[in-house]
Amino acid sequence: AAVDARGNESPGAFVSGHTATCQTRPPRPVQVRAEPLSASSVRLDWVQEAAAVSYTILAGPTVVGAGAGTSAVVSGLASASTHRLRVTATLAHGCGHTRPSAAAAVTTPAGPTARPSRPEGFRVAAADPPTGTVTLRWSQPAGTDPAVGYRVYRGADLVASAATTSVVLALPMATTHVLTVAALDAAGMESAQSAPLTVEAPYLPPP
């Protein structure tokens, strides 16, 4: 409605509309490719044509990885073993999940059998808005295969390595990242990755 200087309103003009509905059969991830990185880890890449907010990687019914982008590293796998991995997407706007992709088969090379325990309690311990840096911490459960280091991943990208259960990352300010951490033993074998952590780099606007 229009309003004049005296506060008088014109008759209202009406318009109707409706929100978009979720697709009944949204496109699932396609072109899934898997390649071994080590005796304990593989890399996956895929294509997703529908808007997605995250992805889950499955080995049969078991969740073995997760991330926000269209690539990921799955670690903690057995040496000299074949895995059939599928990817499902969590869709935007609360539209649920897609069907799993076709399976991609990959075989890890021969290597040691021991694996460290999976890191737990992955969290943001501190953030510094003036610089955009964040401090990440986690805990390492005791196990028969001691951890000697750690790797922090963003999808398939290695963003940091650490000798202790904490690391400081300098991230572009006002950005969001989904990260995981894996433990590394003396033979270079990786544990299964931690639960994913969404990290928002702080931003301090100029005065």
Centroid of chain to Cα 102 = 20
Give the pLDDT score at 17.
77
Q: Could you report the per-residue pLDDT of 78-125, keeping only the tens digit for each? A: 999 999 999 999 998 889 999 999 999 999 999 999 999 999 999 999
| Nearest in space to 43 (alpha carbons), one of 190, 150, 186, 178 | 190
Two tokens, residue 143: 């196990």
Cβ partners under 8 Å of residue 96, min gap 6: 22, 90
Give the pLDDT score at 78.
96
Q: What is the mean pLDDT of the chain?
A: 93
User: Which range (15-24, 40-49, 153-162) has the least confidence?
Assistant: 15-24
Q: How confident is the model at residue 20 (pLDDT cuts 50, 70, 90)?
A: low
Counting other chains too, the contacts that 18-27 makes at CB distance below 8 Å and 24 or more residues apart are: 20/93, 22/91, 22/93, 22/94, 22/95, 22/96, 23/50, 23/95, 25/99, 26/50, 26/89, 26/91, 26/95, 26/98, 27/98
The backbone region for 6, taken as left when phi is positive above 0, alpha when psi lies in -120 to 50, beta otherwise, is alpha
Q: Could you report the per-residue pLDDT of 34-66, keeping only the tens digit for each? A: 999 999 999 999 999 888 999 999 999 999 999
| Nearest in space to 173 (alpha carbons), one of 136, 207, 204, 135 | 204
In angstroms, the CA 119 to CA 127 distance is 21
In angstroms, the CA 157 to CA 184 distance is 16
In angstroms, the CA 51 to CA 40 distance is 31
